[in-house]
């Protein structure tokens, strides 16, 4: 790679010149698409015209789809291995404290009350200090590092951190089950991670029929983006641009025993539970916005 982690980051300078707490974007403006190989090349080159245009566009609320970030075969394997992992181990929960193990959790209506915004899902959480049972970190960090760099961070930012360092990388593989899966409209925590990052693991019309990823437009309208993506694509946008997941197959009844529905890969550098008053996201009701 032409860029090493310690090299100058032109994106960081660009962000510093435009970001202010009063002007964070909250509404989606437009959608852009870029092939993975082009994205990789452009981010690492740090050509000034690209740096200026993409940072400004993200700050205006644009969302980018990276086409073919992962192969369909890789995603298929990831789903198969995750389902197996969840079948072998009982669901549980662990705070992000030093030594926290990987785990999976069924987050139904009742459990969802413990979170800052409502999400009904079956989530598997993997941390880099464990033994990486699904062998996810190397291929995922290869992609994630580009988005970190674009965000103004080092390519390997947080990779070696553990909870006592404050911020940790966490890979979340989620199944939003048919008949229950949903994620309410929210703004993500943005202090440690400037951009939300989604990996698409299912195709609407194949593994599920309705619902999926949306963003909120300037007139508070819900704009579906799920119909624009293919398995293996990634998407990113400014963390404060309101987004959510519309109810997945609400016409069906849920069966938590089968991981059937909309799968999703969530990449986040989280404030660990070793941090007092950790910065989290918040739900947004559009008629009583805060
Ligand atoms: Fe989010």
Q: Cα of 238 to ligand 1 centre, how many Å?
A: 10
Q: 233 with 227: CB under 8 angstroms? A: no
Q: Token digits for 105? A: 């959790």
Provide the mean pLDDT of the chain.
93
Asked if the model's pLDDT at residue 175 lies above 80, the reply is: yes
Q: Cα of 31 to ligand 1 centre, how many Å?
A: 17
pLDDT in tens, 190-218: 888 999 999 999 999 999 999 999 999 99
Residue where the block lists tokens 């202090």: 191
pLDDT in tens, 23-35: 999 999 999 999 9
Q: How does strand 282-283 pair with strand 182-187? A: antiparallel
Q: Cα of 61 to ligand 1 centre, how many Å?
A: 14
Q: Cα of 131 to ligand 1 centre, how many Å?
A: 27
Instruction: List residues, by chain if needed, whose CB lies under 5 Å from ion ligand 1.
Output: 188, 196
Q: Cα of 2 to ligand 1 centre, how many Å?
A: 31
Q: CA 125 → CA 3, 56, 101, 266, distances in Å?
A: 30, 32, 9, 10
Alpha carbons 8 and 6: distance in angstroms, whole number? 7
Alpha carbons 236 and 226: distance in angstroms, whole number? 13
Q: Count Cβ atoms within 10 A of the Cβ of residue 231 and give its class: 0-12 exposed, 13-18 middle, 19 or more buried.
A: buried
- Over the range 132-144, which residues count as b (16 or more CB within 10 Å of their CB) and which as e? eebebbeebbebb
Q: 261 with 175: CB under 8 angstroms? A: yes
Q: Cα of 188 to ligand 1 centre, how many Å?
A: 5
Q: Cα of 182 to ligand 1 centre, how many Å?
A: 12
Alpha carbons 247 and 251: distance in angstroms, whole number? 9
Q: Cα of 74 to ligand 1 centre, how many Å?
A: 23
Q: Which domains does the chain have, with CATH numbers?
A: 70-226+239-283 (2.60.120)
Q: How does strand 119-126 pair with strand 243-246? A: unpaired
Q: Token digits for 171? A: 């890979």
Q: 31 with 62: CB under 8 angstroms? A: yes
Alpha carbons 171 and 85: distance in angstroms, whole number? 14
pLDDT at position 285 = 67
Q: Token digits for 238? A: 């400014």
Q: Cα of 269 to ligand 1 centre, how many Å?
A: 12
Q: Cα of 266 to ligand 1 centre, how many Å?
A: 8
Helices (H), 10-71: 10-18, 36-45, 48-59
Which pTM was predicted? 0.93
Asked if the model's pLDDT at residue 288 lies above 70, the reply is: no
Q: CA 44 → CA 85, 147, 195, 196, distances in Å?
A: 35, 10, 18, 20
Q: Cα of 183 to ligand 1 centre, how many Å?
A: 8
Residues near 265 by beta carbon (within 8 Å), at least 6 away in sequence: 78, 140, 171, 172, 173, 174, 198, 199, 200, 201, 234
Q: Cα of 282 to ligand 1 centre, how many Å?
A: 10
Beta bridge partners of 173: 124, 265
Q: Cα of 187 to ligand 1 centre, how many Å?
A: 6
Q: How confident is the model at residue 286 (pLDDT cuts 50, 70, 90)?
A: low
């Amino acid at each position: 790679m032409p860029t090493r982690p310690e090299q100058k980051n032109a994106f960081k300078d660009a962000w510093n010149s435009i970001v202010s707490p009063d002007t964070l974007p909250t509404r989606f403006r437009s959608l852009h698409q870029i092939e993975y190989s082009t994205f990789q090349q452009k981010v690492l080159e740090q050509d000034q015209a690209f740096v200026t245009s993409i940072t400004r566009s993200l700050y205006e609320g644009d969302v980018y789809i990276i086409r073919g970030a992962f192969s369909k075969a890789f995603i298929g394997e990831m789903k198969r291995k995750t389902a197996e992992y969840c079948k072998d181990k009982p669901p549980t929960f662990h705070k992000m404290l030093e030594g926290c193990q990987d785990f999976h959790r069924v987050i139904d209506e009742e459990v969802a009350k413990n979170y800052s915004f409502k999400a009904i899902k079956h989530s598997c959480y993997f941390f880099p200090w464990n033994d990486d049972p699904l062998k996810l970190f190397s291929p995922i960090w290869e992609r994630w590092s580009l988005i970190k760099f674009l965000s103004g961070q080092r390519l390997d930012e947080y990779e070696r951190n553990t909870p006592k360092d404050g911020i940790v990388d966490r890979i979340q593989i989620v199944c939003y089950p048919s008949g229950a899966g949903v994620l309410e409209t929210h703004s993500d925590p943005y202090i440690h991670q400037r951009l939300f990052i989604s990996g698409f693991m299912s195709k609407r019309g194949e593994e599920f029929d309705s619902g999926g990823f949306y963003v909120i437009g300037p007139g508070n309208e819900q704009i579906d983006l799920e119909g624009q993506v293919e398995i293996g694509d990634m998407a990113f946008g400014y963390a404060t641009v309101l987004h959510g997941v519309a109810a997945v197959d609400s016409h069906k009844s849920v069966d938590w025993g089968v991981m059937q529905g909309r799968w999703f890969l969530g990449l986040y550098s989280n404030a660990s539970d070793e941090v007092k008053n950790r910065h989290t996201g918040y739900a947004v009701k559009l008629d009583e916005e805060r």
